[in-house]
Amino acid sequence: MGRFAPSPTGPLHLGSLYTALASYLDARHHQGLWLLRIDDLDTPRNMPGATDKILDCLQRFGLHWDGEVDYQSRHLDEYEKAVAVLQNEQQLYPCTCSRRLLANAPLIYPGYCRDKHPATNSPHALRVKTADAPVAFVDALQGEISENLATQHGDFIVKRKDGIFAYQMAVVVDDYRQGITHVVRGYDLLDSTPKQLYLQSLLSHPSPSYMHIPLIVDRDGNKLSKQTRAEAVNTALAGPTLFLLLTLLEQNPPLDLRLAPIDSILEWAIAHWQVERLAKIQTVSDLKHH
Ligand code: GLU
Ligand code: ZN
Protein backbone atom coordinates (compact mmCIF):
# COMPACT_ATOMS: atom_id res chain seq x y z
CA MET A 1 0.00 0.00 0.00
CA GLY A 2 1.52 3.28 -1.15
CA ARG A 3 0.56 6.89 -0.66
CA PHE A 4 1.07 10.41 -1.82
CA ALA A 5 0.86 13.12 0.81
CA PRO A 6 1.03 16.63 -0.62
CA SER A 7 0.75 19.72 1.57
CA PRO A 8 -1.90 22.15 0.27
CA THR A 9 0.47 25.09 0.17
CA GLY A 10 -0.06 25.70 -3.54
CA PRO A 11 -0.83 23.96 -6.81
CA LEU A 12 1.14 20.84 -7.79
CA HIS A 13 4.44 21.51 -9.44
CA LEU A 14 6.38 19.26 -11.71
CA GLY A 15 8.58 18.06 -8.85
CA SER A 16 5.59 16.89 -6.80
CA LEU A 17 3.91 15.31 -9.79
CA TYR A 18 7.14 13.43 -10.45
CA THR A 19 7.23 11.89 -6.96
CA ALA A 20 3.47 11.26 -7.12
CA LEU A 21 3.96 9.37 -10.38
CA ALA A 22 6.84 7.28 -9.04
CA SER A 23 4.86 6.35 -5.95
CA TYR A 24 1.75 5.59 -8.03
CA LEU A 25 3.63 3.39 -10.50
CA ASP A 26 5.45 1.53 -7.75
CA ALA A 27 2.16 0.75 -5.95
CA ARG A 28 0.24 -0.19 -9.10
CA HIS A 29 3.05 -2.30 -10.50
CA HIS A 30 2.85 -4.39 -7.33
CA GLN A 31 -0.97 -4.52 -7.49
CA GLY A 32 -1.00 -2.31 -4.41
CA LEU A 33 -3.44 0.37 -3.38
CA TRP A 34 -2.42 4.00 -3.65
CA LEU A 35 -3.85 6.41 -1.09
CA LEU A 36 -4.00 10.16 -1.14
CA ARG A 37 -3.50 12.15 2.03
CA ILE A 38 -3.58 15.90 2.33
CA ASP A 39 -0.95 17.09 4.81
CA ASP A 40 -2.95 20.07 5.96
CA LEU A 41 -1.91 20.40 9.62
CA ASP A 42 0.34 23.39 9.16
CA THR A 43 -2.66 25.65 8.78
CA PRO A 44 -0.79 28.97 8.50
CA ARG A 45 0.87 27.60 5.36
CA ASN A 46 -2.27 26.18 3.74
CA MET A 47 -3.43 28.05 0.70
CA PRO A 48 -7.19 28.31 0.13
CA GLY A 49 -8.23 26.27 -2.90
CA ALA A 50 -4.93 24.40 -3.16
CA THR A 51 -6.40 21.02 -2.23
CA ASP A 52 -9.00 21.20 -5.02
CA LYS A 53 -6.30 22.15 -7.48
CA ILE A 54 -4.12 19.23 -6.41
CA LEU A 55 -6.99 16.73 -6.66
CA ASP A 56 -7.97 18.08 -10.05
CA CYS A 57 -4.42 17.93 -11.33
CA LEU A 58 -3.93 14.30 -10.22
CA GLN A 59 -7.20 13.31 -11.90
CA ARG A 60 -6.22 15.00 -15.13
CA PHE A 61 -2.98 13.08 -15.14
CA GLY A 62 -4.88 9.85 -14.60
CA LEU A 63 -3.37 9.31 -11.15
CA HIS A 64 -6.53 7.98 -9.51
CA TRP A 65 -6.26 7.15 -5.84
CA ASP A 66 -8.08 4.44 -3.91
CA GLY A 67 -10.80 5.27 -1.41
CA GLU A 68 -11.57 8.66 0.07
CA VAL A 69 -9.07 11.47 0.27
CA ASP A 70 -7.63 11.51 3.78
CA TYR A 71 -7.17 14.84 5.58
CA GLN A 72 -4.78 15.09 8.49
CA SER A 73 -6.92 17.84 10.00
CA ARG A 74 -9.64 15.23 10.69
CA HIS A 75 -7.36 13.07 12.80
CA LEU A 76 -6.21 15.45 15.54
CA ASP A 77 -7.45 13.13 18.28
CA GLU A 78 -5.25 10.34 16.95
CA TYR A 79 -2.13 12.51 17.00
CA GLU A 80 -3.04 13.61 20.52
CA LYS A 81 -3.34 9.97 21.60
CA ALA A 82 0.07 9.10 20.21
CA VAL A 83 1.58 12.11 21.97
CA ALA A 84 -0.07 10.96 25.20
CA VAL A 85 1.44 7.49 24.80
CA LEU A 86 4.91 8.98 24.46
CA GLN A 87 4.27 11.31 27.36
CA ASN A 88 3.21 8.47 29.63
CA GLU A 89 6.42 6.70 28.78
CA GLN A 90 8.44 9.79 29.76
CA GLN A 91 9.74 10.14 26.22
CA LEU A 92 8.72 13.78 25.85
CA TYR A 93 9.50 16.98 27.66
CA PRO A 94 8.20 20.51 27.39
CA CYS A 95 10.54 22.95 25.71
CA THR A 96 10.09 26.64 26.35
CA CYS A 97 13.12 27.78 24.36
CA SER A 98 12.41 30.94 22.46
CA ARG A 99 13.09 31.27 18.79
CA ARG A 100 15.77 33.81 19.73
CA LEU A 101 17.57 31.41 22.01
CA LEU A 102 17.45 28.62 19.44
CA ALA A 103 18.69 30.91 16.69
CA ASN A 104 21.88 31.35 18.69
CA ALA A 105 22.14 27.71 19.71
CA PRO A 106 24.33 25.12 17.97
CA LEU A 107 22.76 23.36 14.98
CA ILE A 108 22.08 20.31 17.09
CA TYR A 109 19.53 21.12 19.79
CA PRO A 110 21.59 20.84 22.98
CA GLY A 111 18.70 19.69 25.14
CA TYR A 112 18.42 22.92 27.13
CA CYS A 113 15.02 21.92 28.50
CA ARG A 114 15.59 18.19 28.93
CA ASP A 115 16.29 18.32 32.63
CA LYS A 116 14.34 21.43 33.47
CA HIS A 117 10.80 21.20 34.62
CA PRO A 118 9.26 24.35 33.26
CA ALA A 119 5.77 25.14 34.38
CA THR A 120 3.73 23.36 31.77
CA ASN A 121 1.16 26.10 31.67
CA SER A 122 3.59 28.43 29.98
CA PRO A 123 3.60 28.06 26.19
CA HIS A 124 5.84 25.19 25.20
CA ALA A 125 6.66 22.76 22.47
CA LEU A 126 7.02 19.04 23.15
CA ARG A 127 10.31 17.40 22.27
CA VAL A 128 11.11 13.73 22.11
CA LYS A 129 14.26 12.50 23.84
CA THR A 130 16.48 10.98 21.18
CA ALA A 131 18.71 8.00 21.92
CA ASP A 132 22.47 7.89 21.47
CA ALA A 133 22.33 4.91 19.12
CA PRO A 134 22.22 4.51 15.36
CA VAL A 135 18.87 4.37 13.59
CA ALA A 136 19.46 2.44 10.39
CA PHE A 137 17.40 1.33 7.44
CA VAL A 138 17.91 0.18 3.89
CA ASP A 139 16.46 2.58 1.36
CA ALA A 140 15.31 0.82 -1.82
CA LEU A 141 17.34 3.25 -3.90
CA GLN A 142 19.88 4.91 -1.60
CA GLY A 143 21.02 1.76 0.16
CA GLU A 144 21.90 1.66 3.83
CA ILE A 145 21.27 4.88 5.75
CA SER A 146 22.22 5.31 9.37
CA GLU A 147 21.93 8.26 11.70
CA ASN A 148 22.52 8.81 15.37
CA LEU A 149 19.70 11.16 16.27
CA ALA A 150 21.18 12.24 19.58
CA THR A 151 24.59 13.23 18.26
CA GLN A 152 23.69 14.19 14.71
CA HIS A 153 20.34 15.78 15.22
CA GLY A 154 19.23 16.26 18.79
CA ASP A 155 15.84 16.02 20.47
CA PHE A 156 13.16 17.06 18.01
CA ILE A 157 9.73 18.61 18.28
CA VAL A 158 6.61 16.46 18.05
CA LYS A 159 4.14 19.19 18.96
CA ARG A 160 4.82 22.82 18.30
CA LYS A 161 4.42 25.70 20.69
CA ASP A 162 1.44 26.89 18.65
CA GLY A 163 -0.27 23.54 19.31
CA ILE A 164 0.26 22.16 15.80
CA PHE A 165 1.49 18.57 15.61
CA ALA A 166 4.86 18.37 13.92
CA TYR A 167 5.11 16.69 10.54
CA GLN A 168 7.32 13.89 11.99
CA MET A 169 4.70 12.96 14.54
CA ALA A 170 1.69 13.21 12.24
CA VAL A 171 3.23 11.26 9.38
CA VAL A 172 4.10 8.35 11.67
CA VAL A 173 0.55 8.17 12.98
CA ASP A 174 -0.83 8.55 9.44
CA ASP A 175 1.28 5.87 7.81
CA TYR A 176 0.30 3.49 10.61
CA ARG A 177 -3.44 4.20 10.67
CA GLN A 178 -3.59 3.94 6.88
CA GLY A 179 -1.60 0.71 6.79
CA ILE A 180 1.08 2.11 4.48
CA THR A 181 3.73 -0.48 3.62
CA HIS A 182 5.70 1.40 0.94
CA VAL A 183 6.71 5.03 1.10
CA VAL A 184 8.08 6.49 -2.14
CA ARG A 185 8.94 10.18 -1.83
CA GLY A 186 11.52 12.80 -2.68
CA TYR A 187 15.12 12.71 -1.58
CA ASP A 188 14.55 15.91 0.42
CA LEU A 189 12.70 13.84 3.01
CA LEU A 190 15.51 11.31 3.46
CA ASP A 191 16.77 12.94 6.66
CA SER A 192 13.27 12.83 8.15
CA THR A 193 13.15 9.08 7.86
CA PRO A 194 15.38 8.21 10.85
CA LYS A 195 13.17 10.43 13.03
CA GLN A 196 10.10 8.65 11.75
CA LEU A 197 11.66 5.23 12.31
CA TYR A 198 12.55 6.30 15.81
CA LEU A 199 9.00 7.42 16.62
CA GLN A 200 7.64 4.20 15.09
CA SER A 201 9.85 2.17 17.39
CA LEU A 202 8.76 4.17 20.46
CA LEU A 203 5.12 3.61 19.49
CA SER A 204 5.72 -0.06 18.56
CA HIS A 205 4.48 0.55 15.03
CA PRO A 206 5.86 -1.54 12.17
CA SER A 207 8.01 0.51 9.78
CA PRO A 208 7.12 0.74 6.10
CA SER A 209 9.84 0.32 3.51
CA TYR A 210 11.21 3.54 2.06
CA MET A 211 12.45 4.72 -1.29
CA HIS A 212 13.68 8.28 -1.74
CA ILE A 213 13.98 9.37 -5.31
CA PRO A 214 16.17 12.13 -6.74
CA LEU A 215 14.45 15.46 -7.14
CA ILE A 216 13.94 17.30 -10.36
CA VAL A 217 16.01 20.45 -10.26
CA ASP A 218 16.17 23.41 -12.57
CA ARG A 219 19.27 24.76 -14.29
CA ASP A 220 20.36 26.54 -11.12
CA GLY A 221 19.98 23.43 -9.03
CA ASN A 222 16.80 24.62 -7.32
CA LYS A 223 14.27 22.00 -6.45
CA LEU A 224 11.14 22.33 -8.58
CA SER A 225 8.51 22.62 -5.95
CA LYS A 226 6.21 24.86 -4.07
CA GLN A 227 9.10 26.47 -2.24
CA THR A 228 10.70 27.80 -5.39
CA ARG A 229 8.84 29.90 -7.88
CA ALA A 230 8.35 26.95 -10.22
CA GLU A 231 5.23 27.08 -12.31
CA ALA A 232 2.29 24.79 -11.74
CA VAL A 233 2.08 21.89 -14.19
CA ASN A 234 0.12 22.42 -17.36
CA THR A 235 -2.76 19.96 -17.30
CA ALA A 236 -3.53 20.67 -20.96
CA LEU A 237 -0.32 18.85 -21.85
CA ALA A 238 -0.89 15.83 -19.62
CA GLY A 239 0.27 13.17 -22.10
CA PRO A 240 3.57 14.78 -23.12
CA THR A 241 4.24 15.76 -19.49
CA LEU A 242 3.74 12.18 -18.33
CA PHE A 243 6.01 11.05 -21.12
CA LEU A 244 8.66 13.52 -20.01
CA LEU A 245 8.38 12.42 -16.38
CA LEU A 246 8.78 8.78 -17.40
CA THR A 247 11.88 9.78 -19.32
CA LEU A 248 13.23 11.63 -16.29
CA LEU A 249 12.48 8.52 -14.24
CA GLU A 250 14.69 6.62 -16.73
CA GLN A 251 11.84 4.30 -17.67
CA ASN A 252 12.61 4.53 -21.42
CA PRO A 253 9.05 4.93 -22.70
CA PRO A 254 8.70 4.04 -26.40
CA LEU A 255 8.47 7.18 -28.54
CA ASP A 256 5.08 6.37 -30.02
CA LEU A 257 3.59 6.71 -26.53
CA ARG A 258 4.37 10.39 -26.41
CA LEU A 259 1.11 11.43 -28.04
CA ALA A 260 -0.95 8.50 -26.76
CA PRO A 261 -3.90 8.95 -24.38
CA ILE A 262 -2.80 9.23 -20.74
CA ASP A 263 -4.42 5.93 -19.82
CA SER A 264 -2.32 4.10 -22.40
CA ILE A 265 0.83 5.83 -21.17
CA LEU A 266 0.09 4.87 -17.59
CA GLU A 267 -0.85 1.34 -18.52
CA TRP A 268 2.49 0.91 -20.25
CA ALA A 269 4.35 2.54 -17.36
CA ILE A 270 2.70 0.35 -14.71
CA ALA A 271 3.49 -2.81 -16.65
CA HIS A 272 7.08 -1.79 -17.33
CA TRP A 273 7.98 -0.07 -14.04
CA GLN A 274 11.61 -0.80 -13.24
CA VAL A 275 12.88 0.56 -9.96
CA GLU A 276 16.49 -0.36 -10.81
CA ARG A 277 16.42 2.25 -13.54
CA LEU A 278 15.93 5.02 -10.99
CA ALA A 279 19.52 4.47 -9.91
CA LYS A 280 20.57 5.94 -13.26
CA ILE A 281 18.93 9.29 -12.58
CA GLN A 282 21.59 11.92 -12.18
CA THR A 283 20.66 15.54 -12.32
CA VAL A 284 17.53 16.03 -14.23
CA SER A 285 16.64 19.27 -15.81
CA ASP A 286 13.55 21.32 -15.89
CA LEU A 287 10.68 20.82 -18.33
CA LYS A 288 11.20 24.28 -19.77
CA HIS A 289 14.51 23.31 -21.30
CA HIS A 290 13.17 20.36 -23.27
N1 GLU B 1 3.66 16.65 2.89
C2 GLU B 1 5.05 16.37 2.64
C3 GLU B 1 5.58 17.27 1.56
O4 GLU B 1 4.84 17.80 0.78
C5 GLU B 1 5.30 14.93 2.20
C6 GLU B 1 5.17 13.97 3.30
C7 GLU B 1 5.67 12.57 3.01
O8 GLU B 1 5.64 12.11 1.86
O9 GLU B 1 6.06 11.94 3.98
O10 GLU B 1 6.78 17.46 1.48
ZN1 ZN C 1 14.04 24.09 25.13
Largest pairwise CA distance in the chain = 67
Q: How much is the pLDDT for 122? A: 85
Residues paired with 210 in a beta bridge: 183
* 81 and 103 both lie in a single domain: yes
Q: Find the angle CA(63)-CA(69)-CA(71) to the nearest 5 degrees.
A: 130
Rounded to the nearest angstrom, the distance between the alpha carbon of 31 and the centre of ligand 1 is: 23
* 193 and 219 both lie in a single domain: yes
* 141 and 265 both lie in a single domain: no
* 183 and 234 both lie in a single domain: yes
Around ligand 1, the residues with Cβ closer than 6 Å are 5-7, 39, 171, 185, 189
Pocket test for ligand 1, best of 39, 54, 139, 226 (most atoms within 8 A of CB): 39
Among the bound ligands, the one closest to the CA of 186: 1
Is residue 246 within 8 A of residue 62, CB to CB? The reply is no
Q: Which domain holds residue 95?
A: 76-168
Rounded to the nearest angstrom, the distance between the alpha carbon of 207 and the centre of ligand 2 is: 29
DSSP helix/strand/coil, 211: strand
**Atom nearest to 175 CA in ligand 1:** 9
Is residue 211 within 8 A of residue 219, CB to CB? The reply is no
* 81 and 67 both lie in a single domain: no
CATH number at residue 140: 3.40.50.620
If we measure between CA atoms, which residue out of 231, 232, 255, 234 comes closest to residue 243? 255
The values of phi and psi at residue 105, to 5°, are -85, 165
The pTM of this model reads 0.92
Rounded to the nearest angstrom, the distance between the alpha carbon of 113 and the centre of ligand 2 is: 4
Q: Of 139, 168, 197, which residue sits at a domain end?
A: 168
Q: Of 168, 185, 207, which residue sits at a domain end?
A: 168
Q: How much is the pLDDT for 290? A: 37
* 114 and 16 both lie in a single domain: no
Pocket test for ligand 1, best of 189, 226, 228 (most atoms within 8 A of CB): 189
Q: How much is the pLDDT for 216? A: 76
Rounded to the nearest angstrom, the distance between the alpha carbon of 7 and the centre of ligand 2 is: 27
* 146 and 201 both lie in a single domain: no
Q: How much is the pLDDT for 286? A: 38
Rounded to the nearest angstrom, the distance between the alpha carbon of 5 and the centre of ligand 1 is: 5
* 251 and 277 both lie in a single domain: yes
Task: Write out the DSSP string of 44-106.
Answer: GG--TTHHHHHHHHHHHTT-PPSSSPEEGGG-HHHHHHHHHHHHHTT-EEEE---HHHHHTS-
Is residue 170 within 8 A of residue 41, CB to CB? The reply is yes
- Taking 50 as the pLDDT cut, the residues of the chain under it are 226, 228, 283-290
**Atom nearest to 183 CA in ligand 1:** 8
Written as one letter, the residue type at 164 is I
Pocket test for ligand 1, best of 36, 167, 184, 191 (most atoms within 8 A of CB): 167
* 182 and 213 both lie in a single domain: yes
* 272 and 189 both lie in a single domain: yes
Q: Of 168, 192, 208, which residue sits at a domain end?
A: 168
If we measure between CA atoms, which residue out of 20, 22, 24, 43 comes closest to residue 33? 24
Burial class (CB in 10 A: 0-12, 13-18, 19+), 229: exposed
**Atom nearest to 19 CA in ligand 1:** 8
Structural domains counted in the chain: 2
Q: How much is the pLDDT for 229? A: 52
Pocket test for ligand 1, best of 1, 3, 7 (most atoms within 8 A of CB): 7
Q: How much is the pLDDT for 235? A: 78
Give the DSSP letter of residue 285: -
Rounded to the nearest angstrom, the distance between the alpha carbon of 10 and the centre of ligand 1 is: 13
Q: For helices 76-88 and 167-177, what crossing angle results, to 10°?
A: 110
Query: Which strands, in side-by-side order, build the sheet including 34-38?
Result: 2-4, 34-38, 70-71
Q: How much is the pLDDT for 222? A: 63
* 212 and 239 both lie in a single domain: yes
The H or E element containing residue 126 is: strand 125-128
- What residue spans of 140-258 are helical by DSSP H? 149-152, 167-177, 193-202, 238-248
* 202 and 182 both lie in a single domain: yes
Alpha carbons within 13 A on the beta-carbon side of 39: 19
